[in-house]
Chain A
Amino acid sequence: MARVVAAARPTRWTALWVGAAIAALVVWSSHGTQVDLGTLMSAEALQQMWTYASRLFPPDLSPAAVRDAAAGAVETFAISLLGSVLAVLIGLPLSLVATRTLLFRGLLYEARPLPAVEKTARVAVFGAAKAALNVLRTVPEIVWAMIFVFMVGLGPFPGVLALGVHTGGVLGKLFGEVLEDVDPAPLEALQATGAGRFRILVYGILPQALPQFVAYALYRWEVNIRVAAMLGFVGAGGLGQRIHIAISLFHEHQLLTLILAIYLIVTIVDALSSYLRARLV
Chain B
Amino acid sequence: MARIRTAPPADRFPASRGKSAFPWILTAAFLASVAFSVREAQIHPGLLLDGQAAANVARFVSGMFPPQLSRDFLALMVRPAIETLQISVMGTFIAVLIGIPLGLLATSSLSWSGVLHERASRRGRWLLGFLPYAVSRAVLSVFRAIPEYVWAFMFVRAVGLGPFPGVLAIGVAYGGMLGKVYSEILESVSPRPLETLHAAGASRRAIVLYGLVPQALPNVIAYTLYRWECAIRASAVLGFVGAGGIGQQLELSMRMFQFDEVLTLLGILFVLVAAVDFVSGRIRARVV
Residues on A lying within 8 angstroms of B by beta carbon are: 1, 4-5, 7-10, 14, 18, 25-26, 28-30, 32-35, 37, 40, 45, 48-49, 51-53, 74-75, 77-79, 81-82, 85, 138-143, 146-147, 150-153, 155-157, 159-161, 183, 186, 203, 207-208, 210-212, 226-227, 229-230, 233-234, 237, 240, 243-244, 247, 259, 262-263, 266-267, 270, 276, 279-281
Contact = CB atoms under 8 A, between A and B. Distances in A.
B150 A259 contact: yes
Contacts of B159: 45, 48-49
Contacts of A40: 94, 168
Interface in B148-205: 149-150, 153-155, 157-159, 162-164, 166-168, 190
A33 B83 contact: yes
Contacts of B167: 33, 35
B93 A26 contact: yes
Interface string B11-52: 011010000001000100000011011101111100110100
A29 B90 contact: yes
A35 B164 contact: yes
Given A52-B157, A140-B237, A279-B15, A82 B145 contact: no
Contact of B157 (A25, A74, A157, A247): A247
B149 A230 contact: yes
A34 B161 CA distance: 12
B48 A78 contact: no
Contact of B56 (A29, A77, A150): A150
Nearest to A159: B41
A82 B34 contact: yes
Contacts of A53: 158
A35 B90 contact: yes
B218 interface: yes
A79 B250 CA distance: 24
A133 B164 CA distance: 33
A230 B147 contact: yes
A8 to B, nearest CB: 4
B176 to A, nearest CB: 11
B36 to A, nearest CB: 7
A234 B239 CA distance: 13
A7 B4 contact: no
A16 to B, nearest CB: 12
Contact of B93 (A18, A29, A280, A281): A29
A230 B151 CA distance: 11
Interface in B235-288: 236-237, 240-241, 244, 250, 254, 262, 266, 269-270, 273, 283, 286-288
A29 B270 contact: no
